[in-house]
Amino acid sequence: MTENMDKQKIRHFLSDHSQEAALVLIILAVGTLVQLRTGGSFLTASNLNELMREASMLIMVSIGMMIVIVSGGIDLSVGSVMGLSGMIAALVLRDHRQIPIAALFLIAMGVGLICGTITGFVVAKLRIFPLIGTLGTCDILRGVIYLFSKGEWVSQTDMTENFLAISTGTFLGINYMVWFAVIVVVFGFVFMGHTRFGRHIYAVGNSEANARISGINTERTKWAAYMLSGMIAGLAGLLWVCKYACAQGTSATGFELNVIASVVLGGVSITGGSGTVTGVVLGSLLFGMLSNILPLIQVSSFWQRAIRGAVILISVIINALVSRRAARKALERREQNETNE
Amino acid sequence: MKQTNDKIKDLFSHWETFLILIFLLVNVINISLSPYYLNYNNVMNSMINFMDKGLMVYGTMMVLILGEIDISIASIITLSGCIAGWACEQRMPFMVCILLALAVGTLCGAFNGFLLVKFKELNSTIVTLGTQILFRGLAYMLLEDESLKSYAKQLSGLAWDKVLGLPVILFTFILLTLFFAYVIHRTCFGRRLYAIGTNKTASYFSGIYTDRIKLAVFSVNGLCAAFAGLFLAAKLASVRASIAQGFEMEVIAMAILGGASPSGGKGRVGGVILGVFIIGLIRYGTGLVNISSETLKIIIGCLLIVVCAVPNLRQVLADAKEARRGRAGLL
């Protein structure tokens, strides 16, 4: 009896988390295959460290993007926000070398927050179609970077040792950047799953009209989603400058596309209202792995863009098929129940 | 007396009236900014510069009327331009190169439409975002970081020749305008576009083949983009996989400024023509007074947002009033 119950529990768990389970399997399979193919140069400490440093920014920004997509929008401006916040922080550092690191973080996140507020205003308050509105702010912010930097770069020589240590230093043997990602993931997990506001975001994404009728301030909820996404992108922008030790006008151009790819890979519905933080983390890990292993198995870098596009398309199509199958199964179950009665 | 009043009111309720005012305003500002603005040769050269976007605007307009959006057009331009250049490099006959480029563009558009029709759960945002990356990626796979020039001699006529005293591209734009004005405003097909954009379900149940029309519109959009790609390739005289970045934003801005709306069912060809010229002339004017392309990005981005916001403003203000009244009522 209990054994049967246990089995059923496991089956329920797997059917509830089929997407996550599939992602874990794919990650393990891809990792093993690449490890065998490259003769062991994938699972080395230095490569994994590099992979995680790269993926940590992707994971962070993906959490922000997930909040926006769950609320029913999309944010194409995160790449520009990252570039802008990184550039402003780097300029401040160049002109005031004594500034404490914490202040730089505040500046970068503040810049991100302001950008997010503007984007949120455009989408939530002015009610512009999210894709078009954020396409606009993406270009505006990219132009603003040049207004601040006047086309110059901030290079490694303008940065202090302490600042660069953020991307190389470790705590408990794990890179600082990974810790930042962990903080953001924990925040996302608690925020989306266990706060009233997070649940409001799901409700708004599911059906805005119903959410409004049940007393949720939909405008403010959507606005807040963009603000959070902007703030996280601001933080990631600073880490980007740290990691590459260089801030330039084109930093993080097109990064939003990687982010959207990992979010849809993680099973978040692009029409809003569903998606889990675990899925997004796994999706961005898988995507980060893909960009890491393509050079390892000697795929030309010119192919990577097409592969990225194909990954987005294939994963949204798989999502669509999975949800179709789930709907059909639910229907069958209902019909069976009816005939049983 | 009352009748003329109504007429005036009617005139001002049209978006096109405002567009004409904006158009005049842009011209006045440009003329006062630069003495070189009203030079026939300059104007014609600027046409060559912005008309390649004008060629795509009707495809985008039809997509918007359907209530969809296509942001992959810039990549379709790149891919078809690169295909044309690549085919010339392989010493294929000239006509074959052109037809190949047009066919590839149409196929790309049809691929977008096919995905949308086949998987109804997906919306055009994510599909065209994916294909945007995919198509440009294919161009990169084809050309890597090379740039091709061998086609340029044969194709340069498209960019610099004149027909009836007008640049070829402007002449083509006029022909396309006439064609699309007829199709959109004078045929069943056009009326069905508006019907689908206004209410998809109702049109489906009233016997319109919504899927077939969607597929056709996206294919035509791809064909328009491929067409523009040929002109762009002719103008640039060398193609590489990084051309035409960010074109989709300007084209969408032109169409939306012209009165189309991403929520579907709106827009007229007359307005879109004005939209093309307003944005093109802003680009031309700011180029004359030496404004950097980065500042121009800010200007066009702001313009896009303002343009999208204006039709919503009335609703936003009304809702705000409603909310205030509701709060007062509760008190």
Q: Which two tokens stand for residue B149?
A: 């020039």
Based on the structure, what is the number of domains in chain A? 1
pLDDT at B310: 77
**Structural domain contains residue A60:** yes
Which one is predicted more confidently, B326 or B102? B102
A305 burial level (CB within 10 Å; 0-12, 13-18, 19+)? buried
Residue ranges of alpha helices (H) inside A274-340 are 277-296, 304-340
B250 burial level (CB within 10 Å; 0-12, 13-18, 19+)? buried
Instruction: Say yes or no for a CB contact (<8 Å) between B121 and A137.
Output: no
CA atoms within 13 A on the CB side of A47: 15
pLDDT at B79: 92
Predicted confidence (pLDDT) at residue B234 exceeds the cutoff of 60: yes
Instruction: Say yes or no for a CB contact (<8 Å) between B304 and A136.
Output: yes
C-beta separation of B186 from B269 below 8 A: no
Distance CA A308, CA B134 (A): 7
C-beta separation of B225 from B59 below 8 A: yes
**Structural domain contains residue A134:** yes
Instruction: Say yes or no for a CB contact (<8 Å) between B71 and A323.
Output: no
Question: Does ipTM surpass 0.85 in this model?
Answer: no
**CB contact B331 to A (< 8 Å):** no
**CB contact B321 to A (< 8 Å):** no
Q: Which residues of A touch B144 (CB under 8 A)?
A: 300, 302
Instruction: Say yes or no for a CB contact (<8 Å) between B294 and A139.
Output: no
**Structural domain contains residue A38:** no
Task: Enter the DSSP assignment of B148.
Answer: B
Question: What is the chain B residue with the closest CA to A144?
Answer: B298
- Which residues are A174's β-sheet partners? A171
pLDDT band at residue B296, thresholds of 50, 70 and 90?
confident
**CB contact A139 to B (< 8 Å):** yes
pLDDT band at residue B246, thresholds of 50, 70 and 90?
confident
Predicted confidence (pLDDT) at residue B32 exceeds the cutoff of 70: yes
Q: Which two tokens stand for residue A244?
A: 């590459």
Facing residue for A305 by CB, picked from B115, B140, B296 = B140
**Structural domain contains residue A155:** yes
pLDDT at B58: 92
**CB contact B242 to A (< 8 Å):** no
Instruction: Say yes or no for a CB contact (<8 Å) between B145 and A302.
Output: yes
**Structural domain contains residue A11:** no
C-beta separation of B297 from A143 below 8 A: yes
pLDDT at B194: 93
**Greatest mean pLDDT range, A23-32, B85-94, B108-117, B322-331:** B108-117
CATH code for the domain in which residue A50 is found: 1.10.3470
- From residue B163, give the alpha-carbon distance in Å to each of A41, B170, B203, B249: 63, 9, 42, 30
**Structural domain contains residue A299:** yes
Distance CA A336, CA A132 (A): 45
Q: How far is B133 from chain A (nearest CA, A)?
A: 5
Q: Which residues of B touch A312 (CB under 8 A)?
A: 126, 129-130, 133-134
All domains in chain B, ordered by first residue: 38-309 (1.10.3470)
Please name which of B256, B227, B228, B209 lies closest in space to residue B63, comparing C-alpha atoms. B256
Facing residue for A143 by CB, picked from B71, B256, B294 = B294
Q: How far is B167 from chain A (nearest CA, A)?
A: 31
Instruction: Please state, as a whole number, how many other Cβ atoms lie within 10 Å of the Cβ of residue B48.
Output: 18
Instruction: Please state, as a whole number, how many other Cβ atoms lie within 10 Å of the Cβ of residue A52.
Output: 18
Scanning A77-96 for CB atoms below 8 A from B yields none
**CB contact B318 to A (< 8 Å):** no
Q: Which residues of B touch A131 (CB under 8 A)?
A: 69, 71, 125, 262
C-beta separation of B22 from B278 below 8 A: yes
Distance CA B268, CA A289 (A): 48
Predicted confidence (pLDDT) at residue B76 exceeds the cutoff of 80: yes
pLDDT at B135: 92
Facing residue for B305 by CB, picked from A133, A143, A308 = A133
Which one is predicted more confidently, B319 or B212? B212
Residue A261 neighbours by CB under 8 Å, 6+ apart: A287, A308, A311, A312, A315
Residue-wise burial string across B89-116, b where 16 or more C-beta atoms lie within 10 A, e elsewhere: eeeeeeeebbebbbebbbbbbbbbbbbb
Facing residue for B133 by CB, picked from A132, A257, A302 = A257
**Greatest mean pLDDT range, A201-215, B146-160, B179-193, B304-318:** B179-193
Domain that holds residue A297: 45-322
pLDDT at B220: 93
Q: How far is B211 from chain A (nearest CA, A)?
A: 18
Distance CA B215, CA B182 (A): 20
Question: What is the chain A residue with the closest CA to B264?
Answer: A129
pLDDT at B217: 93
- Which residues are B167's β-sheet partners? B162
User: What does the pLDDT profile of chain A (341 residues) look like in tens digits?
Assistant: 456 667 767 666 666 677 777 788 888 887 777 777 777 777 777 777 778 888 888 899 999 999 999 988 888 888 899 989 988 888 888 888 778 888 888 988 999 999 999 999 888 888 888 888 888 888 888 888 888 887 777 777 777 777 777 777 777 777 788 888 888 899 888 888 888 888 888 888 888 888 888 888 888 888 999 999 999 999 998 888 888 877 787 777 778 888 888 888 887 888 878 888 888 898 888 888 887 787 777 777 788 888 888 888 888 888 888 878 878 888 888 888 887 76
Instruction: Say yes or no for a CB contact (<8 Å) between A132 and B256.
Output: yes
